[in-house]
Structure 1
Amino acid sequence: MRKSSIKIASILLLVVFLAAFKLAEEDFTKLISGKLEKFRQMYPVEKAYLHLDKPYYMTGDTLWYKAYLVEGSLHFADSASNLLYVDLIEQRTGKNWTLRHTHMDAGVGNGEIVLADSIPPGAYLIRAYTNWMRNSSEDFFFQKDIFIFDKTGNASAPGTGKVDLQFFPEGGELIAGTSTRIAFKAVNTNGLGQDIRGFVLDQNKDTVASFKSEHLGMGRIPFSPKSGATYSAFLRDQNGTITSYPFPEVKENGYTLLVDNLSNPLKTRIIAYANIPGKSELPVHVVGHSRGIVAFVARGKIGAKGLMMLVPNTDLPDGITHLTLFNSENKPVSERLIFIDHAHKLRIGITPSRNTFRPREKSEIEITVSDTSGKPLEANLSVAVTDAGQIQQQTNDQHILSYLLLSSDIKGFIEQPSYYFDETKAERKIHRDILLMTQGWTRFRWDEVLKDSLQPAERFLEQGITFSGEVTRNNKKPVEKTPLSVYLSNDSLNSFLTAETDELGRFTLYNLIFEDSLRIRVQGMNKKNNQNLTIKVLPFAPPKVSQAKTPYFPLTIDGQLLSEFLKRNAQDQEIARKIRESRERLLQEVTIKAKKEVQRDSRKIYGTPDASIKMTPQLVGGRTSVLDILAGRVAGVQVVGSGMNASVYIRGNRNEPQFVLDGMPVDKDFISSMNVNDVESIDVLKGASAAIFGMGGGNGVISILTKRGNDNYDYSQEIVPGVLASKIAGFHIPKAFYSPAYPANAAQNVAPDYRSTIFWAPMLKTDKNGKVRLQYYNSDAATTVDIRVEALSATGLPGFGKSTYSVN
């Protein structure tokens, strides 16, 4: 991970209630800065984000995604992990239907998920995470709700029941005699914000406050709790029914923190109050940090009327700043989140060559990317082009800007997150501030940060595929460490290596780089009792997801649009099915006469061997070593000794021959330790026949071919003691998005074309002038076309842009 720091902000302090106020002592500043920096270095944060081609799908459809992976503090597009897991979870059952190993290069990657007809329709969760991210709460995985329909458009019915209402005192607690503000949030059974009206009664049933939600079930009220008082909240629904809810408890003693960074865009006002018996003046510190990097540290005293300071926002970075009040014992006693918005982001321009195109006509689009000042930038971007007559873009849906600066740093679901970044919405900043009062910060916990010693992270950074297994002897864990030999192969890779189990019999191979799948063969290398070993794979276990209490319908879709989408999508799938059937049409019986071609064994780089032994049960019976089988069976091959101590010589040579296993050179000890039941044949090459192996074949070659090394071998046929043969999944190979071409002078294809995703380009880059161009052909639909672009610069600036044009 790159190491960076944000300059400690200069602090402008304004004393209102105290005559004395000074900057923090140097030792406390060093303490907090050092603790946060050490914590950040020990547990660096990664953030993942997925850009999807559309918000909903149909069974049989393909979900396309672009993956972004960044360093968590400054959002540099250069995370240490090269493997990103992408999976698809059914919300109703929590079942994991698909897992993709996405290869990340310089923080970007892409892939797709084919939604098979066997996938049940309903609400799903698509997640993205690295192995390193699993050291933290799963709440900080990338998670997005999508919906998969079947051909009938079936969907879950909206839930019904009691609204969930919670209250959140600013700073954390209600302190008797201290005026404060209380934020609230009401959520319905579908998990979405619910507009409400209500009131608060004290223990005498007197009304002390009334409240009404301002945005998506959220709002806040001024409140002055009294000593010894208890309060209850009540909601009144449209039918006049009144429902009671608990209200926060009033604490007699404690601290609270009030913050205002909305009245003055250049400064943040921080007010601290305290009620501690016997204390008239309380020395405190206020610490501000953004994503684990210290922004400022200041010291003052809370008097009878409180303490106020003004902090300039100039040097605070865009995004969430975490404010913490520390008491005289350097313990955190009150917290508050604020959002700093300097509007530092990528500006994305999307310019179609025309405003209107014809069906099946080529569209040409130019995309420009610049920073806030208008300077062109090189950036990595992804583009989704969809038919607005089928796909209804969701209101204020998540995009890379809202995710990196907001959603990724606070716990819990955020409804309509991009609303808080829409510069056309005048009240977005107020509503964003209320949001931060209702959703807590959990990525940095002070009790963990302030520990004297930090434990190493349990999970590691992955730069390739990890393969783990376990070895037991006679159904028990082996007491001593066990040496292993491992043979890896696929169409482009052949590799032999050795490994060793730990005291618990477990072994792991790290950072394997391969695509699609890999054949792996593991066997013990003990000099005796090798056949008593049992080797098994420890499969990757995706993190479990908590089953939704009530599956909800997470989308807003016009009924006519949904009907059009389902009809067109089913039509496209039927056309594709007929095309496949026509390609597979049966011919009448035809007799073809030719010599049978014997398929060449890819494990043999040589021609016909000088001698070959085919394994049979009678030949293997009673033998414990491959070398024992060779003894006396091949002219010119001499075996001296037996078992693990045997030596082999080919006539005319003083040294032992080169041993080869399934085409890979290995040492004799490995061959001697092999289970004879796993051998298919033994080839012997002498003199000129062995010359193909170069200097290594100067003393002849003995080539052992295994049953499991044969591509046609049925792995379910038998279990060989002491040997594990399996396949493991590698990096997903992304498919190319199919976009048909319709030349103007060519005859029109009779098959109708009503793609819902008209074009998908996940791996585009702008040039040094900040520009990139793309071309594609429109479908048959007379419609409005949506273009959505998401982008990230190498320095961590995110951006989002959208545009439309017409087809008629």
Structure 2
Amino acid sequence: MIMAAACFRAQDKAEKALELFSEKYPQEKVHLVFNKNSFIAGENLWFKSFVFDGYDISGISTSLFVELYDSNKVQIGKKIVPLINGQGSGNFTLPESLKEGIYYVRAYTTWMANFNEDFQAIKPVVIYNPSSPQKLVPNTDSKWTAAAFPESGTFIDGINTKFAVRLQSKGLTPSDWSGYVVDAEKPDVKITSFKGFDQNVGAFSITPQTGKKYQLIVTDSKGNKQAIDLPPVADSGIHLKVTSGNDAIKFSLASKNIAPGTLYKVIAMINNQLVFKVNSEKILEKSYSIPTSQLINGILQLTVFDAKENVVAQRLCFVQPDQLKIKKPALESLSLNESPRASNSFTIAQNPDQEGYAVLVLDGNSENPEDENSMLSTLWLTEDIPSKIYSPAQYFAPNHNSEALDALLITEKWKRFDWNAIMAGTYPIISYQPQPYISYKGKVTIQGKPAPDTDMNLLFSMPDKGMKIYQVKTDSKGFFSLRGLIFEDAIKFSYQLNDPKIPKEQVQVIFQPDFSFVPLKGNLPSNNYILVQRTGEEKPAPEIKRYMVTKSTQNTINEKATLIEEVKLIQSKKDKTRELNEKLSGPLFQGANETIFDFVNDNNNSAQGSMNILQWLQGRVAGLTLEMDMGNYVPKMRGSTVNIYLDEMRIDPSQINTISTSDIAMVKVIKDFFAGGLGGSGAIAIYTRRGGITGSVSNSSIPSKLKQITLNGFDKETPFVSPIYGNDNFNSILQDLRSTLYWNPYLQVQPKEPTTVQFFNNDDAKSYKVIIMGFDEKNFAPVYYSETIK
């Protein structure tokens, strides 16, 4: 969907259009990684997600919508998961009844739904089912097609031109293929020959002559052949030549039959940001160099405009393909034992810039879910280039071919926007605004009529916390909002108006989610498999047999784990500060971006000497400042006043002086949206050692006498359970052929001790594939490790 806006004046309309697009239409993209590469019906599929804004972790969206489809685009399941610092995780329990086939996991944010669906993450997944009448086999017979693309899109008489040749197929493209170019009038004479780099691309160069027709002949190792006509040779025009090196990106313009002094402009942008510009009448006489020292890894788009700002040539290239800025975690203290069911461990070196990692450990003989499309290829390639690319992860692997990546980018155009459209003032219509976490809109009516400017109490029943009461006020139309809720499954609460004269039977509150799943309009992508009939006597392949054994073993592991009193097996041990926070904080005062100061378990003696807790906080919370107003300290964050709450009841800053620091159990500073702020952002919440008496309801029978409402929250993730051999409960497991030995989407970094990963071997693994992922926000770099260790 598009809309029209005011056109920009000539000469700089491209720059102005790009600036507006970059500012108002940031581009989110999603990387999904599964706990293994393929599954069997009845198993759990766990996923981890990273949401990026261009080449950085995104702060735009706080919820991710994830859906599971079959190959006919029938939705099998859907989840909504919270994004904490751009990261989320969850799982799908695959029904036993699923037929064998290719299924698809779709992931997107509300903000992404405003743009082309091609940029949403849709990841195919192989699901086996030996009882299904059909089975999956690789599609090796599907025909392939080839297409030739001249560098910058121009093919001009007398100018040596680099061509990239791109293969495409509904199935698999050949890995061994080659081509040559002939003059159509002399088909037996090869002008130039080349061999394909990989299953995607090859490249050659040719200097054309006007009047000649050139043809490209492509053949594979099986003898399949295809002839492609190259574009007609133009007798005039501009040709853009680009070379991407480690120190600089160099480019020049070659021309034919162009009048001297003609004005041209070249714009270079990365992540929709202008990084270089030259506008000169002598542009055809020089070569230019863009230093890479101030750039980041990513796709750079070079565009040539004429004097009327018409696009005459374009080229994509990659910045420093041989100097990828990747923060690779260091593994230390490796304790590996290939004996069956042996304990293994390693530690990850301390990194002060890293808060946590996603960690996956696989049997060394199993397929790596990052081999096809890795977090690096999602970040730097596929989520900006939505066309089908075979094994895009190869272009960012340690042994990658930079020449192949450059050829691939010659075949592509930047599809995030169209120059002509944005220069004409045509921009996307924003139909979906991202809401903070789980948000609901409520309407209060009395005898069916809206209740404007009305005070209402919400009463929550919390285990181990008693009753919590919060007050909301409707607007002039009877509406109010609960924004920034973070809770799983469902939450129940009661409500009552403050006015005792109005009978509760006359009051009704209706809630509507301020978020929604967006239907998939387009088609699912093609895949490399076909279904064939399964014969009656056919036995499952060895890989499928392992899956069948693993599913049975995992069921046993789950059953045994529930018998163990220590919950450490299923969930990581909660630290004391987290327990205190959960005990004192109500459901509306949970924030994703919160800083907690524990006065019960931590040694905060310095606070005891402070007369005012706000003074003590200053300097300990980034961005928090204090201003004096009428003799009282007023806290501010980013220039805005921060509300203060005592046991979750709002108080005036003047009341802070009456609170003794010895009576304080916990203080937390919330820097984000949270529901207790009733649509506001940020707070300082002070909790007394009395456990939050203020704002609580002493009579537990009150809510049962009132009307109740249930709100749905985020989908709860099924815990990933691993066996702990040496514990008697797991000795009865007959066979262990697990491919996923360890899965932790949120391995927290311990600031004062090594971050340890411990896992137990299966019955036959001799090596382990270790994948560690994260993002270094300070240095704008992916944190990535994917290697096989022994």
TM norm structure 1: 0.66
- CA displacement 1:725-767 (0-9 Å, x = unmatched): 9x76421222332123233788833554443322111112335
Aligned-partner residue type, residue 181 of structure 1? K
SS in 2 for 1:435: helix
- CA displacement 1:188-208 (0-9 Å, x = unmatched): 331546543334454535455
Q: Does 1:44 align with 2:26?
A: yes
Q: Distance in 2 between matches of 1:326 and 1:260?
A: 20
Aligned-partner residue type, residue 801 of structure 1? Y
Superposed, which structure 2 residues align to 1:368-379 within 5 Å? Answer: 368=349, 377-379=353-355
- CA displacement 1:649-696 (0-9 Å, x = unmatched): xxxxxxxxxxxxxxxxxxxxxxxxxxxxxxxxxxxxxxxxxxxx9999
Specify whether residues 236 and 434 from structure 1 end up closer, same or farther in structure 2 by C-alpha distance, changes over 3 A only.
Answer: closer
2:86 to 96, 107, 118: 107
1:434 to 407, 411, 420: 407
- CA displacement 1:306-357 (0-9 Å, x = unmatched): 6422332222222211111121223332111111123322022223532325
SS in 2 for 1:146: strand
Specify whether residues 150 and 307 from structure 1 end up closer, same or farther in structure 2 by C-alpha distance, changes over 3 A only.
Answer: same
Q: Does 1:800 align with 2:776?
A: no
Aligned-partner residue type, residue 739 of structure 1? S
SS in 1 for 2:118: helix
Q: Does 1:67 align with 2:42?
A: no
Q: Distance in 2 between matches of 1:694 and 1:570?
A: 49
Q: Which residue of 2 aligns with 1:386?
A: 362
SS in 2 for 1:248: coil
Q: Which residue of 2 aligns with 1:135?
A: 114
Are 1:274 and 1:306, in contact at CA under 8 Å, matched by a contact in 2? no
Q: Which residue of 2 aligns with 1:621?
A: none
Q: Give the C-alpha shift of residue 41 in structure 1.
A: 1.5
Q: Which residue of 2 aligns with 1:173?
A: 154
Q: Which residue of 1 aligns with 2:585?
A: none
Specify whether residues 36 and 769 from structure 1 end up closer, same or farther in structure 2 by C-alpha distance, changes over 3 A only.
Answer: farther
Q: Give the C-alpha shift of residue 178 in structure 1.
A: 3.1
Are 2:45 and 2:92, in contact at CA under 8 Å, matched by a contact in 1? yes
Aligned-partner residue type, residue 152 of structure 2? G
Q: Which residue of 1 aligns with 2:6?
A: none
Specify whether residues 703 and 297 from structure 1 end up closer, same or farther in structure 2 by C-alpha distance, changes over 3 A only.
Answer: closer
**Range with bigger deviation, 307-316 or 480-489:** 480-489
Q: Give the C-alpha shift of residue 297 in structure 1.
A: 1.1
Specify whether residues 694 and 447 from structure 1 end up closer, same or farther in structure 2 by C-alpha distance, changes over 3 A only.
Answer: closer
Specify whether residues 575 and 742 from structure 1 end up closer, same or farther in structure 2 by C-alpha distance, changes over 3 A only.
Answer: closer
Q: Does 1:204 align with 2:185?
A: yes
2:392 to 396, 402, 417: 417
SS in 1 for 2:165: strand
Are 1:739 and 1:759, in contact at CA under 8 Å, matched by a contact in 2? yes
Specify whether residues 35 and 187 from structure 1 end up closer, same or farther in structure 2 by C-alpha distance, changes over 3 A only.
Answer: closer
Aligned-partner residue type, residue 131 of structure 1? T
Among all aligned residue pairs of Structure 1 and Structure 2, give the percentage whose two residues are the same amino acid: 23
Q: Which residue of 1 aligns with 2:619?
A: none
- CA displacement 1:350-392 (0-9 Å, x = unmatched): 235323253333322101266xxxxx64243111112234x22
Q: Distance in 1 between matches of 2:355 and 2:703?
A: 52
Q: Distance in 1 between matches of 2:184 and 2:475?
A: 69
SS in 2 for 1:347: coil
Q: Does 1:340 align with 2:319?
A: yes
Q: Give the C-alpha shift of residue 257 in structure 1.
A: 1.0
Q: Distance in 1 between matches of 2:231 and 2:491?
A: 57
Q: Distance in 2 between matches of 1:695 and 1:346?
A: 48
Specify whether residues 514 and 501 from structure 1 end up closer, same or farther in structure 2 by C-alpha distance, changes over 3 A only.
Answer: farther
Q: Distance in 1 between matches of 2:317 and 2:490?
A: 47
Q: Distance in 2 between matches of 1:201 and 1:484?
A: 80
Q: Distance in 2 between matches of 1:210 and 1:765?
A: 53
Q: Distance in 2 between matches of 1:325 and 1:161?
A: 39
Q: Which residue of 2 aligns with 1:362?
A: 343
TM norm structure 2: 0.67
Q: Give the C-alpha shift of residue 185 in structure 1.
A: 0.9
Q: Does 1:86 align with 2:59?
A: no
Q: What runs of 5+ residues in structure 1 fail to find an aligned partner?
A: 1-26, 371-375, 471-479, 523-529, 584-692, 710-724
- CA displacement 1:405-437 (0-9 Å, x = unmatched): 222332323322232222334xx1111111211
Q: Which residue of 1 aligns with 2:37?
A: 55
Q: Which residue of 1 aligns with 2:278?
A: 298
Q: Which residue of 1 aligns with 2:101?
A: 122
Q: Give the C-alpha shift of residue 127 in structure 1.
A: 2.6
Q: Distance in 2 between matches of 1:113 and 1:340?
A: 37
SS in 2 for 1:741: coil
Superposed, which structure 2 residues align to 1:156-555 within 5 Å? Answer: 156-159=136-139, 160-190=141-171, 192=173, 194-204=175-185, 206=187, 208-238=191-221, 240=223, 242-262=225-245, 265-275=246-256, 279-301=259-281, 307-341=286-320, 342-351=323-332, 353-368=334-349, 377-389=353-365, 391-393=366-368, 396-425=371-400, 428-452=401-425, 457-465=430-438, 513-517=486-490, 540-544=516-520, 546-548=522-524, 551-553=527-529
Aligned-partner residue type, residue 368 of structure 2? Q
Q: Distance in 1 between matches of 2:64 and 2:48?
A: 11
Aligned-partner residue type, residue 133 of structure 1? M
Specify whether residues 260 and 360 from structure 1 end up closer, same or farther in structure 2 by C-alpha distance, changes over 3 A only.
Answer: same
SS in 1 for 2:529: coil
Aligned-partner residue type, residue 408 of structure 2? L
Q: Distance in 1 between matches of 2:714 and 2:230?
A: 51
Are 1:81 and 1:463, in contact at CA under 8 Å, matched by a contact in 2? yes
Total equivalences in the alignment: 625
Aligned-partner residue type, residue 66 of structure 1? K
Are 2:494 and 2:703, in contact at CA under 8 Å, matched by a contact in 1? no
Aligned-partner residue type, residue 553 of structure 1? Y
**Range with bigger deviation, 156-165 or 121-130:** 156-165
Q: Which residue of 2 aligns with 1:95?
A: 74
Q: Which residue of 1 aligns with 2:570?
A: none
Q: Does 1:146 align with 2:130?
A: no
Q: Give the C-alpha shift of residue 53 in structure 1.
A: 1.4
Are 1:488 and 1:496, in contact at CA under 8 Å, matched by a contact in 2? yes
Q: Distance in 2 between matches of 1:501 and 1:414?
A: 54
Q: Does 1:773 align with 2:752?
A: no
- CA displacement 1:570-593 (0-9 Å, x = unmatched): 43256479989999xxxxxxxxxx
- CA displacement 1:153-177 (0-9 Å, x = unmatched): 9643333333121221110232344
SS in 1 for 2:98: coil
Superposed, which structure 2 residues align to 1:622-637 within 5 Å? Answer: none
- CA displacement 1:136-161 (0-9 Å, x = unmatched): 22222233332111146964333333
Are 2:161 and 2:207, in contact at CA under 8 Å, matched by a contact in 1? yes
Are 1:364 and 1:775, in contact at CA under 8 Å, matched by a contact in 2? yes
Q: Does 1:741 align with 2:727?
A: no
Q: Distance in 1 between matches of 2:346 and 2:135?
A: 36
Specify whether residues 195 and 357 from structure 1 end up closer, same or farther in structure 2 by C-alpha distance, changes over 3 A only.
Answer: closer
Are 1:291 and 1:320, in contact at CA under 8 Å, matched by a contact in 2? yes
SS in 2 for 1:184: strand
Superposed, which structure 2 residues align to 1:722-737 within 5 Å? Answer: 729-737=712-720
Q: Distance in 2 between matches of 1:259 and 1:383?
A: 39
Are 2:265 and 2:279, in contact at CA under 8 Å, matched by a contact in 1? yes
Q: Which residue of 2 aligns with 1:568?
A: 549
Q: Does 1:791 align with 2:766?
A: no
